Amino acid sequence: MDALPLRSRGVSNFVTVRRNLTNHVVTGVAIISTILVLVPLVAIFGYLLYKGASSLNLAFFTHVPVPVGEPGGGMANAIAGSGVILGLASLLGIPVGIGAGVYLAEYARGTWLGAAVRFTADVLNGVPSIVMGLAAYALIVARQQHFSGMAGSVALAIMMIPTVTRTTEEMLATVPKSVREAALGLGIPKWRTVLSVSLRTASPGIITGCMLAFARVAGETAPLLFTAFGNQFWSFDLNQPIAALPLQIYVYALSPYDEWHRLAWAGALVLIVLIMASVTLVRIFANRGVLKGGN
Amino acid sequence: MGVDIRVENLNAWYGPVHTLHDVSLHIPANHATALIGPSGCGKSTFVRCLNRMHETSPGARADGTVLMGDIDIYKDATPVEIRRRVGMVFQRPNPFPTMSIYDNVASGLKLNGFRKKRVLDEVVERSLKQAALWDEVKDDLKKKSGASISGGQQQRLCIARALAVDPEVLLMDEPASALDPVSTAKIEDLIFKLKSQYTIVIVTHNMQQAARVAENTGFFLMGKLVEFAPTTKIFTNPSDKRTEDYITGRFG
Amino acid sequence: MNEPKIIPLPPVPEEPPSAPHRITPSPMIKTMLPQTEMGSPVAVAPVTPSAVRMFLQAKSSGRMADGAFASLMVVCALSIFAIVILIVSVLVSHSQLSIKAFGWHFFSTRTWDPVSGDFGALPFIYGTVLSSLLAVLMAVPLALATSIFLLDICPKFLQAPISFLTELLAAIPSVVYGLWGVFVLVPIIRDQAGPVLEKYLGWTGLFVEPNFGVNMFAASVILAIMIFPVISSISRDVMRAVPVHQREAVLALGATRWEMLRIGVLRNARMGIIGSVILGLGRALGETIAVTMVIGNHAAIMKNLFAPGYTLASVIANEFSEATGDLYLSALIEIGLALFLVTIIVNAIARLLVWAVVRDNAGSAH
């Protein structure tokens, strides 16, 4: 390939000029590209804030959807429904993910089984969410013959597992070996060492990882389309269709009614704010009461 | 009170590497015994075999007899049971970073399911006093993390943590090698006080340290125990040429 | 030495006036007289055998608990295999009807006619591949240029906010992209960009009116924005992983910044960059909701990017709830199965590439 032109400046001015020109052009292209990227970014956030904030009102948080033509209405049931579905999904997905991460970090270092689990988790991480929805449909909905919030939770839980597994493993790997040895040297059984020393030391990072997994599935629509399905009324029965915020936004956005478009924008803003708020809250909560190590 | 340790024909391997060759010795109870030798000579492996810590390294195994009091640690007990009788202090201070000073000291009991709060309070106070740390930390017991104090204090905290389970044997793997001279002197002072109640085995690469704290000293070279004798004899009149070469600084 | 020192509780007598901070004076003297330490008055005697010792010796070794805990962790780890196997088996079993009816022709047939029960996936495969490739074509240069900008050109104070903003892009839910696409991007493509593109590029046959804004082009643009953070953050990681001495070696030869980047960084990081591009591609292939909202959902194979299209993921999202008849459902599930297998293969390749790079660089760093 092209080796560096090493001739001195005096000999070949032309080459130097060309090289410097190329350099400036590339620098310019990089700067312009970055600006080009920042434009849609700011556009999305700005538009979302503007449209969402101007569409929000108290009724959005207190009312359920009203039939077409009637003004007002809100997404109270969808917010609550999302909470229920996500709560169950976290309950199912996070423990399994942490368990698998513990296995990888504490029991399977350097084994082929560990490598296989790690690779499978990475690959599972890339499976499209709509496929998770299909699988949950075939596993649960088709068997029960009706849509259910639980099926939606299972789909989301499966999506959380690989993320939680990999962050747990990575965070446990940062716990120094000497700290584990201290516990084992005291005659503390391994299971207790893992729980009270390794996991506890790594807990801030693991909690962050869990929150990232949560944030990722909290906005998912595709896996809920034919599992949780949506609901126009209040419902907390996990065995029945349940409303969810992303589903409601999807339906309203594609409707032909201006009033529903307004609600969709409000819903989008609320969805993003709720995701960010829950992530921040958990992190603050988790950091409280944890003693800060020095050094 | 401490118990004595009888080691017979102890061999150890890390994977294919034979790191200890037929080590036999008798470590008397309630005395300090120092193990010296150049780095890589097997002295650390040897102490790790005394509480079966070597088993936490993949591929490590040991073969032979180690009698601790009347218990054969490889036959009569599990590693967990042995380690509850044997305290261990490591090369680098390793307090639990997320636990308070109090919880660090109490960890050996709490994490084994001990719940009596009043006894725990007493044990923590007694252990910290034994480790000469009480006066420095008594006001921050539950406020400060075990990792927030100085390195020398951390190492004494680790000693207190080991003492809190009331062990019969205290193993120290180069406990002062990561510390400054003042902290080192404090640790040595401590070993001097503690050795009347515990059987202490201390690994060190510092010959003066061995001379200062231990009644008996063993010299390891290339996985073999070359000589084991009262400290004064080792340092004034060694019977093996290799020991003499080492303590006079001719190698290592 | 073995004198029974049975001291009743409390075990904490006041300490003798020993100074804990005292530095041992003249150590050699002590060594010469070790016996004087017998029964040292300094020591605080423990209770023997203390409550603590008795408790610990009575305590079981916890072997059962250890075994149970380890097996529980193994079960959690194996459940990841189980999940993948379960997904495959349930998708295969539910698509049997369609697999039997159409065989391999399913993937080469261009008709999709639910009314007459004639199903072929070719239009969706075409739509998925085309929209994803276009998205990658648009996103990759921008992502690489932004990575270079952030790593080497950007002033320090701008680095953190810009990379934070691009990471935020990854946190926006798909449905919100779709919403923005429907109400902002689609009108722009229909009213502003459309006429311009037709005027200058209409001759290629790629941009031919009528253009309703809801089309393959809009889907590609949305996808490009969505996969941008994936490509840029991973390619930035691999570029950063190139050892500094590699850059310095090139700079020391008198190279300009661009030559340094091209020879010292991009060439070393190229496998990892390719991996990040493939990861982005995998994301684009499976992206559902935002695409469904702007692509127009029409099963046809057209060269014209202003014509509506359809993708594997969006046909499932759009038609599954309303599908009537077992064959129809089965055909949609077979599409899901195909999508699953394709994304798994694409992701596996990408992961292997990224791993290889990170491992190599970790190796050469020492």
- What digits encode the pLDDT tens for the residues C38-74? 334 344 444 456 778 888 888 877 788 899 999 999 9
Q: In 3D, which of A21, A4, A16 has the Cα closest to residue C252?
A: A4
Contact pairs from chain B to chain C, CB under 8 Å: 106
Q: Is A261 at the interface with chain C, CB within 8 A?
A: yes
One-character DSSP codes across A108-121: -TT-HHHHHHHHHH
Interface of A with C in 144-163 (CB under 8 A): 158, 161-162
The nearest CA of chain C is from the CA of A34 a distance in Å of: 5
Query: What is the arithmetic mean of pLDDT over A160-172?
Result: 94
Q: Which residue of B has its CA nearest to A197?
A: B96
Give C271-287 pLDDT, tens digit per residue: 888 888 988 999 999 99
Residues A40 and A101 in one domain: no
The nearest CA of chain A is from the CA of B221 a distance in Å of: 26
Q: Which residue of B has its CA nearest to A190?
A: B80
> For residue B20, what is the DSSP state?
E
pLDDT, residue C3, reads: 43
Domain-located, residue A30: yes
Q: At what angle do helices C326-365 and C63-94 cross, to 10 degrees?
A: 130
Give the best residue of A50, A111, A221, A258 to mutate against chain C (max C CB count within 10 A): A221
Residues A261 and A162 in one domain: yes
Taking phi first (over 0 means left), then psi (-120 to 50 degrees means alpha), and beta for anything else, what does residue C71 get? alpha
pLDDT band at C228 (very low <50, low <70, confident <90, very high): very high
Chain C environment of A225 (Cβ under 8 Å) = 317, 320-321
Q: Which residue of B has its CA nearest to A106?
A: B56
Chain A environment of C348 (Cβ under 8 Å) = 119, 123
In which residue are the tokens 């003249």 written?
C26
Burial of C359 (0-12, 13-18, 19+ CB in 10 A): exposed
What CA–CA distance (Å, rounded) separates C172 from C158?
A: 22
What CA–CA distance (Å, rounded) separates B243 from A114?
A: 47
Chain A environment of C226 (Cβ under 8 Å) = none
Pairing of strands B199-203, B60-68: unpaired
In which residue are the tokens 């207790």 written?
A192
Are B88 and A178 in contact (CB < 8 Å)? no
Residues A26 and A112 in one domain: no
CA distances from A169 to A39, A113, B165, C14, C234 (A): 37, 15, 31, 48, 19
Cβ-contact A194, A102 below 8 angstroms: yes
With 90 as the cut, is the pLDDT of residue B28 above it?
A: yes
Residues A175 and A245 in one domain: yes
Domain-located, residue A67: no
Q: Give all strands (DSSP E) within chain A, no chain letters.
A: none
In CATH, what number is assigned to the domain containing residue A109?
A: 1.10.3720.10
Q: Is A293 at the interface with chain B, CB within 8 A?
A: yes
- Which CATH entry fits the domain spanning C96-365: 1.20.1580.10, 3.30.43.10, 1.10.3720.10, 3.40.720.10? 1.10.3720.10
With 60 as the cut, is the pLDDT of residue C31 above it?
A: no
Domain-located, residue A247: yes
With 80 as the cut, is the pLDDT of residue C311 above it?
A: yes
The encoded tokens of residue C107 equal 């993937």
> What Rg, from alpha-carbon coordinates, does chain A have?
26
What CA–CA distance (Å, rounded) separates A52 from A177?
A: 50
The nearest CA of chain B is from the CA of C24 a distance in Å of: 6
Those residues whose C-beta lies under 8 Å from the C-beta of residue B22, and which sit 6 or more positions away, are B9, B10, B11, B64, B224
Total structural domains within chain A: 2
Chain C environment of B186 (Cβ under 8 Å) = 20-21, 23
Are B196 and C38 in contact (CB < 8 Å)? yes
pLDDT, residue C56, reads: 84
The nearest CA of chain A is from the CA of B222 a distance in Å of: 25
What CA–CA distance (Å, rounded) separates C172 from C195?
A: 30
What CA–CA distance (Å, rounded) separates C362 from C357?
A: 8
What CA–CA distance (Å, rounded) separates A268 from A249?
A: 7
Which amino acid is residue A206, in one-letter code?
Answer: I
Burial of B111 (0-12, 13-18, 19+ CB in 10 A): buried
In this predicted model, which residue has the larger pLDDT, A133 or A7?
A133
pLDDT, residue A290, reads: 52
Q: What does the angle CA A137 – CA A243 – CA A124 come to, to the nearest 5 degrees? A: 40
pLDDT band at A73 (very low <50, low <70, confident <90, very high): confident
Residues A154 and A201 in one domain: yes
Instruction: Using CB atoms, list chains with 3+ pairs below 8 Å to chain A.
Output: B, C
CA distances from A276 to A40, A219, C192 (A): 20, 11, 34
What ipTM was estimated for this complex?
A: 0.89
In this predicted model, which residue has the larger pLDDT, C17 or C252?
C252
Alpha helix segments (H runs only) across A174-257: 177-185, 190-193, 200-218, 245-253
What CA–CA distance (Å, rounded) separates C101 from C98?
A: 5
pLDDT, residue C23, reads: 38
Residues A164 and A34 in one domain: no
- Residue C15's DSSP bridge partners are none
What CA–CA distance (Å, rounded) separates A18 from A22?
A: 6
pLDDT band at C11 (very low <50, low <70, confident <90, very high): very low
pLDDT, residue C362, reads: 58
Q: What is the mean pLDDT of chain C?
A: 81
Chain B environment of A176 (Cβ under 8 Å) = 94
Per-range mean pLDDT, top range of A206-215, C4-13, C346-355: A206-215
Domain-located, residue A90: yes
Domain boundaries, chain C: 96-365
Q: Is A227 at the interface with chain B, CB within 8 A?
A: no
Helix (H, G, I), strand (E, B) or coil at A245: helix
Cβ-contact B252, B38 below 8 angstroms: yes
Q: Is A187 at the interface with chain C, CB within 8 A?
A: yes
**Domains in chain B, please, with CATH?**
5-94+168-247 (3.40.50.300)
Please say whether the dihedral angle defined by the alpha carbons of residues A163, A164, A169 and A170, taken in this order, is positive or negative.
positive
Q: In 3D, which of A128, A291, A125 has the Cα closest to residue A209?
A: A125
Question: Domain span at residue A31?
Answer: 13-55
> For residue A175, what is the DSSP state?
S
Q: Which of A143-147, B43-47, C38-42, C320-324 has the lowest mean pLDDT?
A: C38-42
Which amino acid is residue C276, in one-letter code?
Answer: S
Give the best residue of B78, B96, B112 to mutate against chain A (max A CB count within 10 A): B96
With 80 as the cut, is the pLDDT of residue A180 above it?
A: yes
Helix (H, G, I), strand (E, B) or coil at B220: strand
| Three-state secondary structure of B40-106 | CCCHHHHHHHHCCHHHHCCCEEEEEEEEECCEECCCCCCHHHHHHHEEEECCCCCCCCCCEHHHHHH
Are C48 and B1 in contact (CB < 8 Å)? yes
Q: Is A24 at the interface with chain B, CB within 8 A?
A: no
Q: What does the angle CA B146 – CA B152 – CA B157 come to, to the nearest 5 degrees? A: 40
Cβ-contact A184, B82 below 8 angstroms: no
Q: Which residue of A has its CA nearest to C343?
A: A127
Domain-located, residue A124: yes
Per-range mean pLDDT, top range of A17-26, A267-276, C203-212: A267-276
**Cross-chain CB nearest to C69 (options A44, A165, A191):** A191
Give C66-123 pLDDT, tens digit per residue: 999 999 999 999 999 999 999 999 999 999 999 999 989 899 989 898 888 889 999 9
Domain-located, residue A71: no
The nearest CA of chain C is from the CA of A23 a distance in Å of: 5
Residues A99 and A27 in one domain: no
> For residue A126, what is the DSSP state?
T
What CA–CA distance (Å, rounded) separates A160 from C124?
A: 28
